[in-house]
């Protein structure tokens, strides 16, 4: 497995969602569903104004901050 993809993510999809992923995959001639899902995640994150480029840690995403006691809701960096 690629060292940059050491984490596995299991996602449950409805038949309609899976069909949409497959349609995207075939329209853009992507080799696998996983590649299509990664591309869709990048597009969605970019649309939300999040930089998901190389070198960006997954801990930079989300709505939970990491405090002394672990994860805490309401990180001041992500609150409006």
Q: What is the pLDDT of residues 24-79, one digit of tens each?
A: 999 999 999 999 999 999 898 888 888 766 665 555 555 445 555 554 545 445 44
> Looking at the domain assignment, is residue 42 inside a domain?
yes
> Looking at the domain assignment, is residue 27 inside a domain?
yes
Per the model's pLDDT, the better-predicted residue between 51 and 23 turns out to be 23
Please tell me the total count of domains within the chain. 1
Say how many C-beta atoms besides its own lie within 10 A of residue 33's C-beta: 14
Residue 13: band (very low, low, confident or very high) from pLDDT cuts 50, 70, 90: very high
> Looking at the domain assignment, is residue 11 inside a domain?
no
Domain span at residue 43 reads 17-47
CB 45 within 8 A of CB 55: no
> What's the gap between Cα 32 and its chain centre?
16
> Looking at the domain assignment, is residue 6 inside a domain?
no
pLDDT at 6 exceeding the cut of 90: no
Task: Check residue 79 and give its pLDDT.
Answer: 47
> Looking at the domain assignment, is residue 43 inside a domain?
yes
């Amino acid at each position: 497995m690629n060292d940059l993809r050491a984490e596995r993510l299991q996602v449950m999809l409805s038949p309609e969602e899976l069909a949409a992923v497959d349609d995207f995959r075939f329209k853009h001639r992507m080799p696998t569903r996983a590649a299509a899902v990664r591309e869709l995640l990048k597009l969605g994150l970019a649309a939300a104004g999040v930089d998901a480029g190389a070198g960006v840690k997954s801990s930079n995403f989300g709505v939970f901050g990491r405090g002394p006691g672990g994860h805490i809701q309401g990180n001041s960096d992500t609150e409006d």
